[in-house]
Structure 1
Amino acid sequence: MPIEYWHWMILGFALLALEMLLPTGFIFLWVGIGAIVVGALGFLIPGLGLGVEFALWGGFSVCAVLAWRHFKPMSFESERPTLNRRGHSYLGRVFTLAEPIVDGVGKLRVDDSQWRIMGADLPAGVRVQVTDVQGATLIVERIAE
């Protein structure tokens, strides 16, 4: 049984459906579109031949994938890049210690939460600046007054 144009169409739409079901990174999308294009060409130009159809399918698929990778939209820059990295949003901010830092570790109340801080031993009431973040710990340094 020869491969007809509608076989290519079914293959193309099946690949598009597979793309919706699997997290493949759009590969099945472009291969499916290539199969649909070959099906359309098979409808318009009957008797292309199986070898020509497979060559066209491969060529269209490869060109579509390469074009997509070249022209795909770049990731956008967020207005709030530290939105989901809360500790990093405190970098550079200055706070007054409510509790002392003892043995390099202390606590700092920031907005509506309490953070573990690390830095040089300092008494309560000293102003500190957040200089780094290590996991859920803020690294602070005393600022000269």
Structure 2
Amino acid sequence: MISVLVVDDSRFMGKVMQTVLTEIGFNVVGLGCDGEEGVQLFKELNPDITLLDVTMPNMDGLECLKEIRAHCPDANVVMLSALKDEEIVRKCLEAGAGAFLEKPIRRDCIEDQQRLISAVEKILGYAV
């Protein structure tokens, strides 16, 4: 089972993501609420996939991504944001994110679930 770390400053969104991921067959091994906690949890848990919100307190998602990739250059990271900003997308992909998804990811929306699965498959290189 693929292990996933979710890092989002919205506890509600983190729980929604956990539910969606669990329902489609992933194992959510941790939930973080800011970039600093995300880096710490990544180092402790070594997940197969990390989902990072872009906008977070203490350390934003882009900085968290950079620290994770410095620790583990092969880390599989999907960035998430409600912001529709092509510059942010570009910076995240250049920093090593394997995919970028627009939020929200809704629990009851098959299309959102499929977008998430497609992003994970793209990063891993195989169907899940």
Which is higher, the Rg of structure 1 or of structure 2?
1
Superposition TM-score, scaled by structure 2 size: 0.27
**Structure with higher RCO (Cα < 8 A, 6+ apart):** 2
